Structure 1
Amino acid sequence: MGYDRPGDRLVLGVPRAAFRPSPVFLALVALFVASGVLTWHGFGNVRFDVFLFVVSGWLVSLCLHEYAHAVVAYRSGDRDIAHRGYLTLNPLKYTNPLLSIVLPVVVVLLGGIGLPGGAVWVDRHAIPGRLRHTLVSLAGPATNVLFTLLLVAVLLTGPQLVGGPLEFWAGVGLLAFLQLTASVLNLLPVPGLDGGNMIQPWLSPAYRRMYDMFAPFGFILLFALLWNPRIGGWFFGAVFSVADFLGLPPQLYVLGRELIRFWQG
């Protein structure tokens, strides 16, 4: 698998290299930090700086979301997940880079919502107990919820403590809104998504077979639900209500959504 180098120390029978952050992930983190600095100082085209800041930050969160799934699965009994490269935080290791990376970024740019992305393949037969299966599925959305709360806390204290340009805080606001929408979307009980996978182990065999039949079409089902005006209205109404409850300033994430479309400015 590319990890068995001479002298590599083993962790529970797995080479330590299987746990090292990949250069791809480290490059994304570096881009996120660098673009944040550029946005803060207003260097060059600020709209493009915000675009890089938000997109790289979103991709970093996708990697951490999937890493949370993988590390809980590993701790729950699926040791082979380390050999599949999921513990290196490399987004190129996901089962479908197009659906995992490209599509979520396109939806962020066009719609301003955090579409669930990434996909780690978990050997469910290696994990005993229904609760462990639920925890594996819950780990990813829990990461999005944590990021949402952290970013909102930064927004509510940062501008008063350190000041800074509006464009930077608009980028942070949009990232917080993306994490919030991703949290809600990932927790929906849709077959194939994390919310559905959380309840799948607890279904009766007949319902589980039906669930497994629809699971490959989870993304299509999600788009169909959001496309419905009534259901889409309920969803966004719920998201805006939670955002208001948390104190997320709407003017910031709305401005952030405008700024990342740098080609329109």
Structure 2
Amino acid sequence: MTTATSRHSDRRISPVFLGIVAVMAVTGWAVWTDFAASPGVAVFLFVTSAWIVSLCLHEYAHARTALHSGDITIGAKGYLTLNPLKYTHAVLSIVLPVIFLILGGIGLPGGAVFIERGRIRGRWKHSLISAAGPLTNVLFAVVCTAPFWLDALDGVPTDFRLALAFLAFLQVTAAILNFLPVPGLDGYGVIEPWLSYKVRRQIEPFAPFGLLAIIGLLWIPEINHVFFDVVDAILNGLNVSGNEAAAGGDLYQFWPDLSLNLQR
């Protein structure tokens, strides 16, 4: 009985996460109904809370996949509660991506939950654990863009449509960046199990600097343009124009002087 009760509490959805979802729902309603005096503030709160929800789901996907792959310690660490405060690197997983969203307007990958890889057998399982997070961003982008590719925009208020377009933009950027085969990112985690032990040991020291390297590369105009061209192509494939995503970003960032101007 004690074990069952403990297991249930380890998987109970956290009030912290439910509070974030409540903020997303209320501010989404405010954007839809044009209830807020300042639409920019409402869009800011809606997109930010939705972005945090997606980050929580991203980490949850890693944890849930690891649990079913053999790491039975996941539940005791609180990762299945969707509580962002339980993450090993809460600053990397939540705080830094939110700050970068506010200042730079792109979906920056976060840190990962701590998984005891030694408990997991099979290279495919290790790859799937790493891929589960960014695949959640892909799914989130598909959901956000559903009204666009289903041609179901009739009656959808303009501000809400633009907010969805910008949120989809964030999910696409996060998915692309996460899937890059760079040490420290999920994309490298996908291919790492298939590399030789010698190669993995040689690459391992560079893992803490992978994300910083990506941020630095995005400041290079030629790379920046190629990256956002790819993002625009994916959004266009989902029937979302780059102009709509950019307009949503402008609506979100009602403090233009603070922007890092990493977008187009």
TM-score (norm 1): 0.91
Q: Which residue of 2 aligns with 1:173?
A: 165
Q: Give the whole-Å Cα distance in 2 for the aligned partners of 1:91 and 1:264.
A: 29
* Structure 1 stretches of 4+ moved >6 Å: none
Is contact 1:22-1:88 (8 Å) kept? Answer: yes
Match of 1:154 in 2: 147
1:222 aligns with 2:214: yes
> How far apart, CA to CA, are the structure 1 residues paired with 2:111 and 2:30?
28
Q: What residue identity is the alignment partner of 1:165?
A: P
SS state at 1:106 partner: helix
Equivalence for 1:4: none
- Residue aligning to 2:93: 100
Q: Which residue is equivalent to 1:3?
A: none
Deviations 1:18-38 (A, max 9, x none): 011101100011110000001
Which position in structure 2 is the counterpart of 1:31? Answer: 23
Are 2:99 and 1:88 equivalent residues in the alignment?
no
**In structure 2, what is the Cα distance between the partners aligned to 1:211 and 1:158?**
47
Q: May I ask how many residue pairs the two structures share in their alignment?
A: 255
Q: CA deviation at 1:8?
A: 4.8
Q: String of CA shifts for 1:25-66, please: whole Å, max 9, x gaps.
A: 000111100000011111222110100000000000000010
Report 1:106-121 matches (<5 A).
Answer: 106-121=99-114
**1:50 match:** 43
Q: Which amino acid aligns with 1:186?
A: N
Residue deviations 1:78-119 (CA, integer Å, cap 9, x gap) = 010111111100111112222222221122122221111242
Residues 60-69 or 228-237, more deviating: 228-237
Structure 1 unaligned blocks of 5 or more: 1-6
Alpha-carbon spacing, 1:264–1:113, altered in 2? closer, same or farther (3 Å) = closer
Q: Find the counterpart in structure 2 of residue 260 from structure 1.
A: 252
Q: How does 1:167-206 map to 2 (within 5 A)?
A: 167-206=159-198
- Structure-1 separation of matches of 2:40 and 2:158: 12
Amino acid at match of 2:241: P
CA RMSD of aligned residues (A): 1.7
TM-score, with structure 2 as normaliser: 0.91
Amino acid at match of 1:125: G
Partner of 1:76 in structure 2? 69
Q: Distance in 1 between matches of 2:2 and 2:57?
A: 25
CA contact (8 A) 2:47 2:163 kept: yes
Please state whether the residue corresponding to 2:216 is helix, strand or coil: helix
**Distance (Å, rounded) in 2 between the aligned partners of 1:58 and 1:181:** 12
Q: In structure 2, what residue type is equivalent to 1:27? A: G
Q: Which residue does the alignment assign to 2:262? A: none
Distance in 2 (CA, whole Å) between partners of 1:66 and 1:247 is 28
Task: Give me the identity figure in percent.
Answer: 49
- Aligned residue for 1:262, secondary structure, equals coil
Match of 2:132 in 1: 139
Secondary structure at the residue paired with 1:50?
helix
Contact kept, 8 Å, 1:20 with 1:88, in 2: the verdict is: yes
Structure 2: distance between partners of 1:230 and 1:260: 26
| Structure 2, unpaired ranges of 5+ | 258-264
What residue is the counterpart of 2:225 in the other structure? 233
Shift of 1:9: 5.5
